[in-house]
Structure 1
Amino acid sequence: MDFEDKDNGRTGLAGGDPLPPEEWELTGRTARIEAIYAEHHPQLTRFFRRRAANQDVGDLVQEVFSRFASARGGLATLIERPSAYLVKSARMLLAEYARADGRRHTDRHDSFGDEHEGAVDPQDALEARDVLRRAERAISRLSPLTREIFLMHRFDGLRYPEIARIKGISVKTVESHMTKALAAIKRARGKQ
């Protein structure tokens, strides 16, 4: 049964009328996408279940099929191997979600030292002070040249060639003094 649309003069169809030929192609595309969805939905669901949180699986599958349906300007049915396209889309989507998830976790990150400084375990503090005291004692027992080279490197931030130039010795000699200093500190800390 035909009726006249008074606003723009178009002719419409009643519910039981057959589709006109210009709409056959659209209906065929929709049916093809639905068939691809029915065929590949279980595989994509399994794929995402192994790689994503359960609450995200449905959304991820839906997003992949949404991208598929809009592929090639709405001509997704022209894709020769839809399974390959869907798998590639699924992998790319997971990568996008991982990047977004990483950004969300970075935003929520809070440094342990900032907020929890007052919550130091007294036993840990005593042990740290003891280790520091033993390291200081070991440094004070080093020969004056070894101690000075160690302090120049570790506290002044000078590199071995700079220390060698300042002290008028070779870089190998600086390395030797640093090795002695580090070994003494390691022994003092009880890590021998």
Structure 2
Amino acid sequence: MAEEPSDRAYWNKLLKLVMRHTRGRGDAEDLLHSAYIRLEQYRAGHAVDNPSAFLLRTASNIAIDIHRHERLWAPDDLNQDVQRPDDAPLQDEVIAARARLARVKEGLARLTPRTREIFLMHRLQGMKYREIAIHLGISQSAVEKHIAKAALFLTEWTRDW
């Protein structure tokens, strides 16, 4: 019977073979690991005379499958009528994001009106501290303190959300 993939030196030898057969793909270790899992699943019902050959062939086949999948979904030609995967968030992600947003809105409502105004001017309108200070007629240091106060409160308020 052929060698078993049980020690590190044997695994490294197989890894080099997989890298050579898959043209130096950076994920050779992942390919070999997936092939090993398939080997063990196959062994549950069948005898394997040459585990090395099985692992090498399976890793190569997995690499081919990955390459075909990447080529199918690659944006080579934007005019192709190929159905692309939907990049929209999943429903549970939308629900979780809405819950977080509601929590942040509730936290914003708990800030003093002045702190909330300054924080929103900076975060939503993109105003710089100096611009806010001039606009409101206060010192830049006061703006910094309001924003720090709001950021600290909201960080604590939304912790574990």
Q: TM-score range by the shorter chain?
A: 0.3 to 0.5
Higher relative contact order (CA 8 A, sep 6+): 2
Larger Rg: 1
Give TM-score, length-normalised by structure 1.
Answer: 0.39
More helix by share: 1
